[in-house]
């Protein structure tokens, strides 16, 4: 609860600074319109990257990590564009989308099996995946951009078009997913198992729980969400560059989860914190831009915020452990 309160206060301060910056940069009478446009663009980014932050958080909660998220996004977008547009394919959109999601789930299953059955390190497995899936995407596309041209307008309208009730559709999708994952993680017994595995996997094994199954489930859900993100990415941008798109996305996903209170040691995290962490992650560069800070400083600001959050987390953890020891 203290973490959430601290995040909420920090988020409020950042948003207040953003509103002040918009006011400072607006002509008389334009403030409301500029603030609304700024909020809309920010909400789109939060809706986008919040989806993969949810997936990264699931893996982090069990004490794992997934470095292949960005490459899975690129592969998913590329495969979808090929299935929909390339000669010899021309698949119905629903079938193509289901196939892409299945590919994402299969990737996660492979990760889970390598980590649980062969006992490979999650860092190594997903780092290899980062290179492999990017290479597959580039090979399938002959290292060329793939796009939808002017086709599938109706599908793009469903997933990407105008805001609903003033909210971008990506944000609405994120909120629906967040509600489902909140029930899964904080209400269902399956979610409790994931937290328990991250806290003390051996104790969970002694309780007779098949920890391998739940660890594999976390990786499957993470890669499936990355594939879903890839679908939305193609709908928004209408094309994908397999050589570049998705680069560093895994770092943004992990950063959003960590800023939101997920501990890289595992066993900690909640949906509300992840949403706030993702919001903070994208408020920071937006804020630096509005205040005229050079764009090259943006990564310093994000990295500094992550470092500060990690330091505060360790300080609070040490104090809590000290108080428990005194009792």
CATH code where residue 70 lies: 1.10.3470
pLDDT digits (tens, 9 = 90+) for 75-93: 999 999 999 999 888 899 9
Is the residue at 155 inside a domain?
yes
Is the residue at 7 inside a domain?
no
Average pLDDT over residues 112-139: 96
Please tell me the distance from the alpha carbon of residue 226 to that of residue 176, in angstroms, as a whole number: 16
Q: Is the pLDDT of residue 324 over 90?
A: no
Is the residue at 62 inside a domain?
yes
Q: Residue 147's closest CA among 246, 243, 236, 250?
A: 236
**Residue 123 lies in domain:** 48-309
Q: Is the pLDDT of residue 321 over 70?
A: no
Q: Where does residue 142 rank: exposed (0-12), middle (13-18), buried (19+ CB within 10 A)?
A: exposed
Is the residue at 22 inside a domain?
no
pLDDT of the residue at 326: 57
Band (pLDDT 50/70/90 cuts) for residue 202 is very high
Q: Give one DSSP letter per residue of 22-55, joined into a string.
A: HHHHSPTT-HHHHHHHHHHHHHHHHHHHHHHHHH
Please tell me the distance from the alpha carbon of residue 299 to that of residue 282, in angstroms, as a whole number: 11
Is the residue at 157 inside a domain?
yes
Domain count, the chain: 1
- Cβ proximity of 54 and 274 under 8 Å: yes
Please tell me the distance from the alpha carbon of residue 228 to that of residue 232, in angstroms, as a whole number: 6
How far, in whole angstroms, is CA 38 from its chain's centroid? 21
Is the residue at 66 inside a domain?
yes
Q: Is the pLDDT of residue 325 over 60?
A: no
Is the residue at 5 inside a domain?
no
The proportion of the chain whose per-residue pLDDT surpasses 90, expressed as a percent, equals 55
Please tell me the distance from the alpha carbon of residue 313 to that of residue 295, in angstroms, as a whole number: 28
Query: Count of H helices and E strands in the chain?
Result: 12, 2
Is the residue at 209 inside a domain?
yes
pLDDT digits (tens, 9 = 90+) for 263-314: 888 998 899 999 999 998 888 888 888 877 777 777 887 788 778 777 877 7
């Amino acid at each position: 609860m203290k973490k959430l309160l601290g995040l909420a206060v920090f988020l409020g301060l950042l948003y207040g600074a953003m509103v002040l910056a918009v006011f400072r940069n607006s002509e008389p009478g334009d403030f409301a319109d500029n603030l609304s446009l700024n909020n809309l663009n920010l909400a789109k980014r939060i809706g986008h990257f919040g989806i993969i932050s949810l997936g990264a958080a699931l893996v982090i909660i069990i004490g794992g990590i997934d470095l292949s998220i960005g490459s899975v996004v690129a592969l998913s977008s590329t495969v979808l564009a090929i299935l929909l547009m390339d000669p010899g394919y021309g698949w119905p959109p629903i079938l193509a989308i289901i196939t892409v999601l299945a590919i994402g789930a299969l990737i996660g299953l492979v990760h889970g099996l390598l980590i649980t059955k062969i006992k490979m390190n999650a860092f190594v497995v997903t780092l290899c995946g980062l290179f492999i899936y990017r290479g597959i995407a580039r090979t399938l596309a002959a290292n060329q951009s793939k796009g939808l041209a002017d086709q599938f307008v109706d599908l793009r309208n469903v997933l990407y078009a105008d805001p609903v009730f003033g909210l971008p559709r990506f944000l609405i999708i994120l909120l629906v997913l967040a509600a489902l994952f909140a029930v899964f993680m904080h209400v269902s017994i399956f979610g409790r198992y994931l937290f328990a595995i991250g806290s003390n996997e051996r104790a969970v094994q002694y309780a007779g729980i098949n920890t391998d199954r739940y660890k594999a489930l976390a990786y499957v859900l993470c890669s499936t969400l990355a594939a879903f993100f890839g679908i939305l990415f193609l709908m928004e941008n209408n094309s994908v560059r397999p050589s570049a798109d998705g680069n560093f996305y895994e770092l943004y996903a992990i950063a959003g989860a960590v800023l939101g209170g997920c501990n890289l040691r595992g066993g900690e995290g909640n949906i509300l914190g992840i949403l706030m962490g993702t919001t903070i992650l994208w408020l920071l560069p937006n804020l630096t831009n509005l205040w005229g800070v050079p764009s090259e400083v943006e990564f310093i600001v994000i990295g500094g915020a992550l470092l500060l959050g990690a330091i505060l987390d360790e300080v609070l953890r040490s104090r809590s452990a000290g108080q428990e020891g005194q009792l």
